[in-house]
Every structure is written in C-alpha cells, then in structure tokens.
Chains A and B, each alone.
Chain A
Amino acid sequence: MTERLKEELARIGDSVAPVYVAPDTWARGRRARRRDRVLVGAAALVLIAMVGGGVGLVRHESRETQPVEPADSDLVALPSRIWKVPEHVADQDQDGQWTGPVETDLAMGPASVAFVAAGRLPVLIGASDGRYHLLDLPGWLGEWDLYEAEGGIGVGLALSPDGTRLAYAWHGELPTSSTAPVPTGIRIIDLTTGKGRVALLSGGQGVVTTRLMWSPDGRWLAWTGLVAGHLSGAPSSAWYDAHLGGRINVTTMSAEKAKIRDSSAGLSINNDGTTAWLDRDRLAVWDGRHLTKRKIAFPNGLLDTPPTGAWSPDATSIAFGTFGSNAGLIPVEVATATNRQGLLLPDPPARDNLRRVQPLGWIDDTRVLAMVEQELPGRRAVSLVVISTPETRADDRLVTTTDFVTGEFLSVAVDLIDLDHPTADFPEPDWPWSTERQMVVGFGAAVGILWAGYWLFRWRRRLL
C-alpha cells in the first residue's frame, strides 16, 4: 500500500521548481574555509603561548555582564536603543543549559523592556540602569522546542505596564507517566521580591500559552494558548488539538477559559477584565460570562491576524496593529465594532516600507506606543514609535531604535514613558567574548609576544 505513498511523494517532488543557488556559493564556501584555517592557526598559537605562560595579555572576560553606568534609583526610563543579545550568549548547549551568564535571582527591580532573544532566552532590561538581565526562569515553556506542529508558534512573555511584574508561559515537573498531562499555566514574577505565583491552565496534555497581554492597570492578564495533544519537553515532539483563550485575575490568580477560533487572534483586555479577540474581520468581546461577536468592515479589505491590541484609556476603542504594506494602527470602537478613523500610520521616516505595526499600549488619551517593523533596503528595522490619533494630531516620535529583525516578542512597560524625556541613553552591555573573539585576541597577543621576543633577542645580540 505504501507504493501509493511513494507515488504521491514523487508527484509532490516533481511539482517543485529547482531552487535558486547563489553563483557565489563556491567563493563564500572557500572564504569560510580560509577563516577556519586562520582560526585553527590562531588557536594553535594561543595554545603555544599559554603553554609558555605568556598569555597574560589575553583578557578573558568575566562571564558576568558588566553593569552599566551608576544608576539613579529614582530615574526609570525606556532605553533609547535596544541592543541585540549575541547568539553565543543566548543559546542553549547540548544539555539544554544556557550558554550565557543567566540570573536566577529575579528580585532585580522594575524593568523597562522584556523580550525573547535568539535561542529562546528571556531577557529583561533594567528600568533604572539599562542593565540586561538574561533570565533562567523556572519552568519557562519557551525553552522547549514547541514550534514544530504549528510551523512556528511564539511562547507568551509579557512585562506589566508599570514594569514591576513579568508574566510568562510556565510548565511544572514532568509527570512520571507518559500519559499524564504536564502541569502548565502562567507564572507571574514580582520583580521587587523575586517571588512567583502560578495560575494553572488545564486541558489535553497541557496548555501552551502563546500570547499574553496585561490590562492597562496591571490587574488582569489576557492570554491565548494551544491545547497540546502531546507535550513532553523532547525536541520537536509537541502537537496541538485546540485553541483556547482566557483571562487571569492577577490579584486572586484565578484563571478563566473561553473557547476561541484561533489562538493567533489579536488579544486585548481592559481594566474591568473585558477581553477582546480580533480574528481577521470578527471582533469577539467577552466579559467572563457573555461572548459577543461582531463583524468589522475594514478599509482596503484589511487585515491579517494582529498579535495584540490595546484598549484606549476610556475603554471605548481598541487599537489593533496590521501587517504588510497596509501596516498601521486600526482603532476599533468596541460598542459598534466600527473603524471610523481609518488606518493610523506613523510619520516618516518610520512610515517607509512598513512591514508590521503592533500597539504596545496607550500613553494617554491620544497617543499610542507602537512597535514598527520596516523592510528597508538590505535590512529590517524595528523601532518604538509614539503614534498620535488624528483628533489631536501631534508629531509622531521615534523613541527607541533596536537591533532586532522582528519585534514580535517585544514587551514594553508603557507607563514608564514620560513624553518630555521618553528615553535614557544607556551604554551597550559588555557581553562576554565569543570563542572567535577570544581566538582573535589570543592570536594578536601571541603575535605581539613573538614580535617582542624577536626584537629583544636582536637588541641583546647587539649589546653583546
């Protein structure tokens, strides 16, 4: 019978056009080969120098990230630039251990930004000192390889609007029985005390929280997730059976669930716990008991599923973000499910070649802090921009630039923005050196030692 499977696979294969192979592949491969040889040579020289005890010049950085400038504990602000965490710091080794200097003491004070770095490492930026904290979060679901079945899912991580609490997708101890479900839920860390509380989410073999969104006052947390048909922590082994959403009362840590059509629907929650999901052209509003759904007509046939939305301070509208060349903010009036203001675009230059606009939260009645992704020539730019509504149109302001290529997993403490002084300049973190950098410096040191030795030898011969 599997002959038919072979035939169908062959037919699929036959329908594939040959892929494009860059003409400089050979040249790039050979350049890489030459670099390999240089590195091996450098490593050999360093080894020789070390055996000779002459590598005092080789500076081996402490594996602690260095603190930035002395902090004024009263000053809290967003950083004017968000640096990318190097991959050699944010990766996992073969045993699943983080390669960078991770922290387990989570009593680090308020943070301004949270994001998930390459290698799925959660990172916080200190609000008062701009220091980068690489976190070893207990039960962080993101460290598991959960992407497989859905072709690419995110795992929830969100900083509260005031920057004092961090919520993330959590898993407990794996059960001894392979058929028993994995304890899963959402854990909230108080960044002042470092203590955490868990709201359990049950269903299937566990619930993987994919998105989290705080209410503006930080008393509620909305979430979307996937009910796992299989979840074990083994690489690439999870699959999912259903979509789920809900909210958590942060004071009591009680969790409520609602069945939703798509866990990638735009998620938002207001100060009384009313939760809304925008799934393409359908706005679902849920107050914990009643679920109402309304169809929305968007300008220009928008839109694709936006990750999150932000309720306005007066709770009358929700600003959702959109993707693609039509990227912008769409304020949707909750009572009527209408969009009367059209698409709000950031001012140039943040308007050029837009790829995605995602609201992070309202700063006041007329301004929204948004993450803006742009597809610029030769590079992708991600920045944080304050966008104003048309009624009280003020100039939009670019407040923070980043080194990221996607802002999908970026969460910002919106309350920390003071429009007179929206950001502070903090220096780039002093990351531990990569192996390659250590080799290059070692090679330079070894060459220096040999050169000095040669001249010392010649000088002594002249003296004799």
Chain B
Amino acid sequence: MRKSGKQIVIGATGPGANTYDFPLLLKELLGVNIKIVSGYSSSSDIMLAIERKEVDGRAGSLSSITPFIDRKLVHPVIRARASEPGIEQLPVDESLAPNARAKAIMALRSAPEIVGRPYVMTPGTPAELLQTMRTAFASAIKDPALMAEAKKAKAELDYTPADKALEVMKEVLNQPKDVVEEFSKYIKFGE
C-alpha cells in the first residue's frame, strides 16, 4: 500500500471508533497514503459506500466484514494484534512500525480488542470470590451446552483469561508519559 503511491480512501464513522482510529495510525505512523472520510452513520453504511465506489475500504471487526469478504466485495489486507482464525497470515500493523514508540501506540489502540468485553467486580472483592468467578468463566467456556446455545443464537464466544486481560491492562496503564502524550495526539474522543 505504501509503495503503490496511490491514495486509498477509507470510510469511517468518526474519531474514537476503530473505523477511524486504525486507518489514522496507519496513515500517521506507517506513512500509508490514506484519506479518511468520516461521518458515515454505521459500519454497514460504509460498506454501501464501498459498494458504490465512494470509498475504497474500511477498518472493522472480522465478524462484521466476513459476509462482504464472502461476496468478494472486499479483501482483508492488514490486521491489528488481536487475531481470528482465517486472518492469522495477514501482516500485523505493529510489525510494520518504524520505531518502538509507534509500535507501543498501535499496541495501546488495539488493547481493548484483546480484552473484549470484560466482566469486572468492585474493588475490595475477596480474592477467593474473584478466583471462583474466574474458574467459573474458564469452565463455562468449555461447557458443551453453553457452546451449543451460543451456536443456536449465532453468537461468537471468545474467551480471554483474566490473567491475560490483566496483563494487557497493566501494559496500557504503565506506558511512559511521552507515549501517552503522543497517543493522545491521534486518538481523541468527545473533546
């Protein structure tokens, strides 16, 4: 993409959303010739814009783009750190980063995608209760009945263990000040 020199027009909903932030970092940190057109009301609205050739592509979760990949309307070209079966071979944005700071900023942006939708408990919850809940979640994800129910409801269940989620959170919260400041230059929300 960088070598082709051709400008790629990416549709987005707005700042703060992955549809905007992911291509923004590709543009600012990797130097890809991208023009972001934001303001679309939803991801599906952007897909329609792709279909009528108003924009060239978009960023988003694999599950929402899969029907359009199947229709050969779009092709996946790059992914963030979090992976899904079928796109493991794609280049990861962080691996193309020119320096450690850019890599850290990209990792920060993708942190929520690894954690997903966390279940949290209030501060002061007894350690054994926390452990019980963690074990319950770890066991539930192996429960065939739950998986069958999810399959029936066409729901995807991906599990990130608490240790992994905590590790990601610690990485996010322990970033040096200069990385946080530069991250804030790009990723803005509700100012």
A binds B: no
A residues in contact (CB < 8 Å) with B: none
B residues in contact (CB < 8 Å) with A: none
